Amino acid sequence: MLKKLLITGATGNLGAVCRERLKPIAETIRLSDRPGADLGQAAPHEELVPCDLGDKAAVEALVEGCDGIVHMGGQSVEANWDTVRNANIDGVFHLYEGARKSSVKPRIIFASSNHAIGYYKQTQRLDANSTPRPDGLYGVSKVFGEAMASMYHDKYGIETASVRIGSCFPEPKNHRMLSTWMSFDDFMQLIERVFMVPRLGCPIVYGASANGASWWDNREVAYLGWQPKDNAEQFRAKIDAEMDPPPADDVNALYQGGAFCGDGIHED
Ligand code: NAI
Ligand code: 15L
């Protein structure tokens, strides 16, 4: 059991799920989000520590003493460079500097994204050795995060699972997500396995359920013992009834990153 688990981005979609579901794996959970975000009341096992990821001193203090970190905080879709840089470039540097300086060496889950590999065609099959093909500034920031995880592992032995999350929502919302969807149950099981396995290293994991239409191969991380149980196929008939599939020449049908590949650079 972890002594103190830090969850960043705790008021976000996935941070809130982690807050609710990860209680059994840690004695204390330290919850953080940006100042002003509504973290609510602290339960007896919780600590609330708001801070902006762009504030180096505050992030280093946030990380101190935590033996586990689920790093969900950050800019979670495409945005202008200042926004992406502050949360996902500076923020990740601050988090790893906090980890390096901490009195306790933490194990980290980094919420990477399928947008780190978004420009691969949907006809291609990827595994942990597939080189990045980011589909925007946001995707580039996730590649940066994976590189930071790798460097801090090689130099300082800090272990991180970089999870290239597909689409983690209650249900898949469109035809593309029949391939990219990850259920909350499967994600929580993955997080538990990452903290349970004796040696983690610094793997890349594709964050998707056992989808019949998957593009991703997680054989390289079989040692985690993660066995996703859900399959987006259970929603195919519902999605077919709700919408037409995208035309074959649409980015949503061509590229793994879908609509993000059709988005330009956000200038402000
Ligand atoms: P979200 O946008 O709901 O939550 C992100 C949280 O980070 C928010 O609560 C926000 O206030 C916080 N945050 C943003 N900038 C910050 C800053 N400068 N300082 C402190 N906190 C800041 O996103 P969601 O869906 O919960 O995703 C969590 C993580 O997983 C994100 O890093 C996202 O990029 C990644 N991800 C999520 C996917 C999904 O399907 N939900 C897919 C791929 C990656
Ligand atoms: C992401 O990286 C986003 O954080 C999430 O909101 C979804 O857009 C997801 O990718 C996706 O590609 O479906």
Q: Report the CATH number that the domain containing residue 91 is assigned in CATH.
A: 3.40.50.720
Q: Supply the residues annotated as catalytic.
A: 138
Residue 172 CA, ligand 2 centroid: distance in Å: 11
Is the predicted pLDDT of residue 268 greater than 90, yes or no?
no
* Residue located nearest, by CA, to atom 13 of ligand 1: 74
Q: With a 6 A CB cut-off, is 179 part of the ligand 2 pocket? A: no
Q: Which ligand sits nearest to residue 109's alpha carbon?
A: 1
The verdict on residue 267 lying in a domain is no
158 found inside a domain = yes
pLDDT the model gives residue 14: 98
Confidence of residue 88 (pLDDT cuts 50, 70, 90): very high
The number of distinct structural domains making up the chain is: 1
* pTM given for the model: 0.98
Q: Does the CB atom of residue 115 touch ligand 2 within 6 A?
A: yes
**Rounded average pLDDT over 85-103:** 98
Tell me, in angstroms, the distance from the centre of ligand 1 to residue 178's CA: 22
Domain presence at residue 268: no
Is 142 a member of any domain? yes
How close is the Cα of 115 to the center of ligand 2, in Å?
A: 8
Residue 5 has pLDDT above 90, yes or no: yes
Query: 191 pLDDT band (50/70/90 cuts)?
Result: very high
> pLDDT value at position 113?
98
**DSSP letters for the chain:** -EEEEEEESTTSHHHHHHHHH-GGGEEEEEE---TTS---PPPTTEEE----TT-HHHHHHHHTT-SEEEE--S--S---HHHHIIIIIIHHHHHHHHHHHSSS--EEEEEEEGGGSTTSBTT--B-TTPPP---SHHHHHHHHHHHHHHHHHHHH---EEEEEE-B-SSS--SSTHHHHB--HHHHHHHHHHHHHSS---S-EEEE--S-TT--B--GGGGGG-------GGGGHHHHHHH-PPPPTTSHHHHBTTGGGGG------
Q: Is residue 244 assigned to a domain?
A: yes
- Span 151-169, mean pLDDT? 98
- Residue ranges making up the domain that contains 25: 2-262
